[in-house]
């Protein structure tokens, strides 16, 4: 059995590669910052010197990178994934990037006898570690069935949503709801606090109410104590909102609350919170209302 290729071993990619190793699959992996791959090498992963080397000899190649520019960097060129992708291979692209860029790479892969699937995921680091990711897949059904056993090592819910590019469009549509919910949650907490209710009590009451989504239940407590390692940074969330707003412009779809959330994430970046978890949107709202924020890294104490 040929090894699996894996390109992009960051917060999500490293955990997915770890799950594949734990399931007994051989993995050859590449990451631009090579030290981040060291723990995986200790678990048996073979270190590849380039995206091309990670793809070489593999029947299935995974990629999970930061944005569209990073995908182009690892996908194209003499050392890119396409250069190492062999005929008959399947490239499973799991990043949140431009649907248009995904389709363009798919056409290039098809031209050399390979297939590309867009397979973005719903869930965070803890979800990966538990093997409970939800995975949306766009592309050929036959290619999906070939890689299904590997995807099942990452999560039990695998949903085919249409042709190549459809899955990432679905992921973008889902992701915009996150910061919109966080913004509404921040406003609720701040209003309750200003009315004399302790912040902790307000958070507990909201998270026990019918208004609490699963996402708010695990991220809402961050307004009390931000995580040491951000689950999804302000910058990364704003990248996703940028993709949503771009797609909305193409399709003439109004996204007014998404636009407002995007502006507040811009304010968070301006306050030095770009590397914080995106729950730092609370700091912006709190600062505007004259209240104390939660950020530890930035030195902000109220967000403004």
Check if the beta carbon of residue 166 is closer than 8 Å to that of residue 144.
no
Q: Look up residue 295 and give its two tokens.
A: 């950020």
Query: Within a 10 A sphere around the Cβ of 49, how many other Cβ atoms?
Result: 10
Query: Within a 10 A sphere around the Cβ of 277, how many other Cβ atoms?
Result: 23
Q: Is 117 helix (H, G, I), strand (E, B) or coil?
A: strand
Q: How far apart are CA 295 and CA 292, in angstroms?
A: 9
Q: Look up residue 172 and give its two tokens.
A: 């973008």
Q: Is 171 a catalytic residue?
A: yes
CA atoms within 13 A on the CB side of 296: 10
Check if the beta carbon of residue 203 is closer than 8 Å to that of residue 223.
yes
Q: How far apart are CA 202 and CA 214, in angstroms?
A: 17
Q: How far apart are CA 242 and CA 250, in angstroms?
A: 12
Q: Look up residue 37 and give its two tokens.
A: 């791959």
What's the DSSP call for residue 277?
B
Q: Annotated catalytic sites, by residue?
A: 171
């Amino acid at each position: 059995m040929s090894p699996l290729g894996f390109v992009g071993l960051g917060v999500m990619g490293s955990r997915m590669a770890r799950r594949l190793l734990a399931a007994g699959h051989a993995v050859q992996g590449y990451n631009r910052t090579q030290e981040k791959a060291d723990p995986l090498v200790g678990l048996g992963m073979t270190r590849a010197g380039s995206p091309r080397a990670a793809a070489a000899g593999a029947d299935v190649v995974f990629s999970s990178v930061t944005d569209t520019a990073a995908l182009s960097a690892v996908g194209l060129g003499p050392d890119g994934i396409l250069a190492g992708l062999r005929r008959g291979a399947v490239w499973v692209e799991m990043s949140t990037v431009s649907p248009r860029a995904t389709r363009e790479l798919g056409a290039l892969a098809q031209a050399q006898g390979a297939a590309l699937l867009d397979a973005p995921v719903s869930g965070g680091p803890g979800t990966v570690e538990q093997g409970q990711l939800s995975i949306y897949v766009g592309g050929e059904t036959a290619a999906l069935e070939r890689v299904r056993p590997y995807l099942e090592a990452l999560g039990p819910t695998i949903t085919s949503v249409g042709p190549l590019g459809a899955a990432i469009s679905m992921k973008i549509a889902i992701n915009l709801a996150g910061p919109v919910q966080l913004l509404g949650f921040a406003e609720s907490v701040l209003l309750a606090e200003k009315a004399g209710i302790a912040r902790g009590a307000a958070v507990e009451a909201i998270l026990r109410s019918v208004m609490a989504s699963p996402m708010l239940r695990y991220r809402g407590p961050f307004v009390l104590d931000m995580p040491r390692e951000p689950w999804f940074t302000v910058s990364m969330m704003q990248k996703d909102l940028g993709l949503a707003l771009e797609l909305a412009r193409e399709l003439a779809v109004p996204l007014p609350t998404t636009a407002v959330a995007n502006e507040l994430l811009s304010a968070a970046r301006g306050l030095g919170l770009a590397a914080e978890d995106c729950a730092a949107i609370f700091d912006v709202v709190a600062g505007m209302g004259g209240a104390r924020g939660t950020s530890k890294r930035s030195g902000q104490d109220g967000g403004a």
